Structure 1
C-alpha cells in the first residue's frame, strides 16, 4: 500500500476567493478589496465582494464536501473578518462564522486543516507599513492567538502562511498582486524576513496555547526541477537547479525554507542578494526556525533540467504543442514525484501536497452535467507520481486538490476554473463536475484504483 490508511484526502480554498460578504457583519477591508478597485489590476474589474458567497452558503458547501467524500478540508481565515483593523478589537461575528464551519466539518467527518494567512492582509495594517513594519510579525501573532484560543479545542492541523513567494514577490516586488507595490530588493527582503518572523511567532503561539496537540506546517510554492532522464548526472543537475537562488529573484524554495528548517539563510542566497540583505539577529532566526511538523507544498508544474557539458544544470526549452492547462501552465506530472523527493531528502519532514490542480475549460453541458475529462486525466497522472514518491520512501501525509469550487482567481478574476464543483457566479448554483465524482472513487479506494 502506497498511501497511509489515514491519508488526508482533501480539497483546498481560501477566504477571499470564496467567502464574499466583504462588507457585512463587521469584516474590515483587506488589501485585495482595495486592489480590486484599482483600474486595470484585475481581469474585467472583477472583485471578491460576493465570490462564491460561501459566507452564507457554507452548509450547502459542506454537504457537497460530504457528497464527494472528502476526508479533509483546507481553508484559510479572513484576518480582517476576525480583527477588522488587524489588531485590537475582536469581531465576534467573524469568529462565530468559523466556529460554525469547523463544527459542521467535524460533524460531517471532515478534518479541518486551517491556514492563518492566504494573502488578504488587513488594509488598516497595510497603511501602517504592512510587512515592512517591524511590528508586523507581532500583529500576526496577536491575530493567531485569538484564533488559537477560539478554535484549537477542535482544530489540530494548522498552516501559517500560504505561498509567501507570491504575496511578497507578486504583491511587493512586481506589483501584479495586492497591495500592488513595486519595491526594490532590499525592501522586499525586509518584507520576506518579517513574514518569516510572523510564521515563527505563530508556531510559538500554537505550541504554547493550543488546547489540543497541534500539527503545524506551512505551504510554500514553486516550480519543480525535473531531470530530463534518469541519468544520475541529470538527477544531480535537477537537484542543484531546484535548490539554486538567482540574483534578484524570490522564486525559489531555499531562501524561504532554510531559515524555517535550519535556522539560517543559505550562503548561496547571501551571495546572490549581496548588499540587499536585511539586518537580522540570532534571536529572530530562532523564532523563524521554531519547529514545524510537516512541509506543505503547492505544486502545479515543473521544468526539465539536464546536465550540461560541464555537469551544471541546463534548462531544457519546452517543445511546441506540449500539454498545458487553460492557464498555460505546462502539464508536468513528474513534479509531484521530484518536488516531494527533493524536500523530503533535504529536510526529512513529512510532506503534504497542500495544492495541486488545473484550470480547465469548464461549462454546464446540455445534459446539465460538467464534463472535465482533462482534469481527471491531469489529476490521475499527478497522483500516480505522488504515489511513486510515497512508494519510494517519501513520507506523504495528504493531498489537497486546488480547488473545491470555481472561485475568484486573484488578478485573473473569474476567467479560470480550477474547481471540482462548478459555480454559476450569477445564480450561485453549484454543480459537481465529473472530476468530483472520479475523485470520490479515488478517495474511497485510497488511490489503489489509479
Structure 2
C-alpha cells in the first residue's frame, strides 16, 4: 500500500517515547514565507531569477509568499498551539542589508527582534539560521558565492544580525544546505543564480564552507554558543549491481554528503570528488581548512529521500545520472525511504561528529493537499512522520546523541523554482486569500506532543 492510500490519523509515538530533554519543532525560511516586497527588503538573486522567464513555475516569485511579515503573530500561535518546543526560522540577508553590505534596514532588524521576542513570549526556543538562499543582488553582481570575498561579507552580516538577536536565540546555524547553495545552483542550474558551470560550482563548494567558518568565528567573538551547520543529505544507492553504478553512487555520495562534512570535521575534501573538481578549485584552497574547521557545537541533518544512481556513459565528470526508483513517492517525486535517515544519523555520529549533539533540522513531505469541508486530511504525511520518527527513536536507542526533530514545514510556502504547487506544510495556505488551515498532521502532532 502506498503512503497516499493510507488512512493514518494518529502518530504512533508520543513525547513520552523520547528523552525528557528531546526537542520537537517545525521550520520555515524567510524568503519562502515572509514576502520580499514588504518592509524595505532588498532585491535578492531569487527575485531576479524568478523574474527571468522559464526559471520558475508560472513565473511565480516570493514577493508576497505567505505574507508572514504581517501575519507572524498568528503563525507563531500555530507553532505554540501544536505543542512544539522550538521554531526554526531564517533571517533574510536582503532584508537586513539590502545592499549586502553597509547600511542596515532598520525595519528588517526590528522585524526579527519582534519575531524572536514573540517566540519567547510563547515559550518557544528560537532556532535561527542566517542564510537560506536569498543572496542580495549587489553581492551577486560581484560574483556571489564564486567570489572569495563572500566569506567576509557573510561574517559581517552574521555580526550585524547576532548583535541584535544573538542574546535571545537558543541556537544559531550559519548556512542551510550548502549543497543547494553551491552544486544545485552553480552546477545543475536549478536554483538561483542558475549557473551550469563547473568552475563556478567548485568555487561555490569551497566558499560556502569558508563563509560558514568565518561567520562561526564572528558569532563566537560575540560570546555566542550553540552554533551549528545545517547540511542536507540524500541516500545514494547504485541503480544496479554493476561496478560502474557502484562508482557513480559513491561519487554522488561524495558530492552531496561527504564534501561538506569532510571540510568541516576532517579539514579535507574527498579525493574522488577532487578528481573532478580539483582543477577548478581556487588556488591555495587547502590553506582555508583551519577556518572551515572552526569547531561547531552541533550538526543539523536535513533529510528527505534516496536516489538510485547509475553511470551516464560519458567521460565528463561526474558522469552519473538518476534512475527512477520503485518506492512510493511524495508530490516531489522523491522516494520515501526512512532507512536513509537512520543511516545518516548513525553514520554522521560514527564518522564525523563523534559525540556532538545532532538535530534532525528538516524532515517532511510534499503532498497535493486540498481543503475539503474545512479540513485537510493529509494521512500520507502522518504516515511519513510515523515512519521517520521510528527511525529517530531507533537511532536514539543505538546511542546516537540526537537532541531534536524538526518538521519541514510549518506552512505551505514558496517552493523556489517550483512555485506554489508543492505543499510541504503542516498548515494549508490558500495563496489567493492567504488563509491558514491546520492539516490533520498538525492536529496529530499536537495530540502526540501533549501525550
Aligned equivalent of 2:227: 216
Over 3 Å counting, the alpha-carbon distance change for 1:106 and 1:356 in structure 2 is same
My pick for the range that moved more, 266-275 or 56-65, is 266-275
1:147-180 deviations in whole A, cap 9, x for unaligned?
Answer: 1111111113011111111121121112211111
Aligned equivalent of 2:76: 62
Alignment partner for residue 442 of structure 2, among 418, 436, 440? 436
Over 3 Å counting, the alpha-carbon distance change for 1:270 and 1:226 in structure 2 is closer
Offset of residue 250 of structure 1: 7.1
Aligned equivalent of 2:206: 193
Aligned equivalent of 1:101: 115
1 CA distance for matches of 2:247 and 2:447?
A: 37
My pick for the range that moved more, 288-297 or 260-269, is 260-269
Alignment partner for residue 337 of structure 1, among 342, 357, 360? 342
Offset of residue 129 of structure 1: 1.1
2 CA distance for matches of 1:160 and 1:363?
A: 35
Offset of residue 195 of structure 1: 1.1
1:209-243 deviations in whole A, cap 9, x for unaligned?
Answer: 13xx4201111112124799xxxxx9xx9xx9899
Tell me, yes or no, if the aligned pair for 1:165 and 1:250 is still in contact at 8 Å: no
5 Å-filtered alignment, 1:268-417, equals: 268-281=272-285, 283-303=287-307, 320=326, 322-347=327-352, 348=354, 349-365=356-372, 367-417=373-423
Offset of residue 281 of structure 1: 4.8
Aligned equivalent of 1:231: none
5 Å-filtered alignment, 1:165-244, equals: 165-183=179-197, 185-210=198-223, 213-225=224-236, 244=250
Alignment partner for residue 24 of structure 2, among 9, 12, 18? 9
Tell me, yes or no, if the aligned pair for 1:224 and 1:242 is still in contact at 8 Å: no
2 CA distance for matches of 1:16 and 1:149?
A: 22
1 CA distance for matches of 2:142 and 2:383?
A: 47
Over 3 Å counting, the alpha-carbon distance change for 1:316 and 1:149 in structure 2 is closer
Tell me, yes or no, if the aligned pair for 1:244 and 1:254 is still in contact at 8 Å: no
Tell me, yes or no, if the aligned pair for 1:226 and 1:335 is still in contact at 8 Å: no
Aligned equivalent of 1:265: 269
Query: Where in structure 2 are there 5+ consecutive unaligned residues?
Result: 1-15, 310-320
5 Å-filtered alignment, 1:237-252, equals: 244-246=250-252, 251-252=255-256
2 CA distance for matches of 1:132 and 1:3?
A: 43
1:56-87 deviations in whole A, cap 9, x for unaligned?
Answer: 00011011111111101111111011011000
Q: Which has the higher contact order (CA 8 A, sep 6+)?
A: 2
2 CA distance for matches of 1:27 and 1:149?
A: 19
2 CA distance for matches of 1:52 and 1:303?
A: 31
Offset of residue 134 of structure 1: 2.0
Offset of residue 318 of structure 1: 6.4
Q: Secondary structure at the match of 1:264?
A: coil
Over 3 Å counting, the alpha-carbon distance change for 1:192 and 1:390 in structure 2 is same
Please provide the CA RMSD for this pair. Answer: 2.4
Query: Where in structure 1 are there 5+ consecutive unaligned residues?
Result: 229-233, 306-314, 446-450
2 CA distance for matches of 1:429 and 1:275?
A: 51
TM norm structure 2: 0.88
2 CA distance for matches of 1:78 and 1:227?
A: 38
Q: Secondary structure at the match of 1:401?
A: strand
Offset of residue 384 of structure 1: 0.4
TM norm structure 1: 0.88
1 CA distance for matches of 2:113 and 2:322?
A: 49
Tell me, yes or no, if the aligned pair for 1:85 and 1:123 is still in contact at 8 Å: yes
Offset of residue 336 of structure 1: 1.9
Aligned length: 419
2 CA distance for matches of 1:323 and 1:76?
A: 31
5 Å-filtered alignment, 1:131-142, equals: 131-142=145-156
Aligned equivalent of 2:162: 148
1 CA distance for matches of 2:98 and 2:344?
A: 37
Q: Which runs of 4+ in 1 moved over 4 A?
A: 225-228, 240-243, 315-320
Q: Secondary structure at the match of 2:128?
A: strand
Tell me, yes or no, if the aligned pair for 1:351 and 1:397 is still in contact at 8 Å: yes
